[in-house]
């Protein structure tokens, strides 16, 4: 059996997972990425189950997975799909026999957005990862957070459309105010829709969007000569 994204290091939770797989001949722990809500319980489970830990390189992983690696289970194969964006090393797992995908945090079960602000270039990577998911033959997507997505193409499009609409908002704002930074754009982009306590996260997301827009549409250098110096 495989325990996929075992969750936080909470004792009652760890005991419940150990109990759920108690009848297995062998157990492996599989990670999509290393955020604590996904990977916190890795060490505790590995010790109690004498389990190998497979996933992106990082703390507790005994077998590093890369794109295309296949993990065999009693109900079919899981194929690692590199889907950077949420994190640089994020992996989804394709279950071809069931036309299914375990999506980690690339997609969520509700809404139209996930966290994309982890590293420079993450926005472009995320959009490319959504394109990668479109190329798979999927009937259902299982996000780590939220219910299954039973109609994958529109769900993928929903997350893509949201991200591109944010990019367009930021691009328009920077066209008007080329030197603006994330703090300057907060109210213009989010208005009154920002939930309480989410300002810091929104600023990080905006910073990633600003960097993406400036990388994709660099400002033109001023012309040489006196006219350029006078500008």
Establish if 148 belongs to a structural domain.
no
Establish if 152 belongs to a structural domain.
no
Establish if 119 belongs to a structural domain.
no
Establish if 46 belongs to a structural domain.
yes
Tokens, residue 31: 């990670």
Which is catalytic among the residues 5, 9, 25, 37?
A: 37
Query: Per-residue pLDDT tens for 144-159?
Result: 999 999 999 999 999 9
Instruction: Name the domain count of the chain.
Output: 1
| Residues in the chain, total | 231
Q: What is the pLDDT of residue 191?
A: 83
Establish if 132 belongs to a structural domain.
no
Establish if 189 belongs to a structural domain.
no
Tokens, residue 45: 């489970």
Containing domain of residue 26, as a range? 1-65
Active site residue 9: no
Quickly count: other Cβ atoms within 10 Å of residue 175's Cβ.
12
pTM of the model: 0.90
Establish if 129 belongs to a structural domain.
no
Q: What is the pLDDT of residue 188?
A: 87
Establish if 212 belongs to a structural domain.
no
């Amino acid at each position: 059996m495989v325990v996929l994204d075992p969750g936080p290091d909470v004792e009652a939770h760890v005991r419940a997972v150990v109990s759920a797989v108690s009848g297995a001949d062998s157990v492996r722990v599989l990670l999509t990425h290393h955020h604590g809500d996904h990977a916190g319980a890795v060490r505790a489970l590995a010790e109690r189950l004498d389990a190998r830990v497979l996933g992106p390189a990082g703390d507790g992983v005994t077998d590093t997975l890369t794109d295309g690696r296949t993990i065999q289970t009693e109900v079919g194969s899981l194929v690692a799909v590199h889907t950077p964006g949420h994190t640089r090393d994020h992996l989804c797992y394709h279950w071809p026999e069931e036309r299914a995908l375990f999506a980690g945090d690339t997609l969520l079960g509700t809404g139209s957005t996930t966290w994309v602000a982890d590293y420079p270039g993450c926005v472009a990577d995320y959009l490319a990862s959504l394109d990668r998911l479109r190329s798979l033959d999927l009937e259902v997507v299982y996000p780590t957070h939220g219910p299954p997505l039973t109609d994958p193409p529109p769900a993928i499009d929903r997350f893509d459309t949201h991200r591109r609409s944010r990019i367009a908002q930021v691009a328009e704002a920077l066209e008007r105010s080329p030197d603006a930074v994330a703090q300057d754009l907060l109210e213009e982009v989010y208005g009154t829709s920002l939930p309480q306590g989410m300002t810091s996260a929104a600023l990080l997301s905006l910073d990633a969007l600003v960097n993406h827009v400036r990388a994709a549409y660099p400002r033109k250098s001023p012309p040489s000569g006196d006219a350029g110096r006078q500008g």
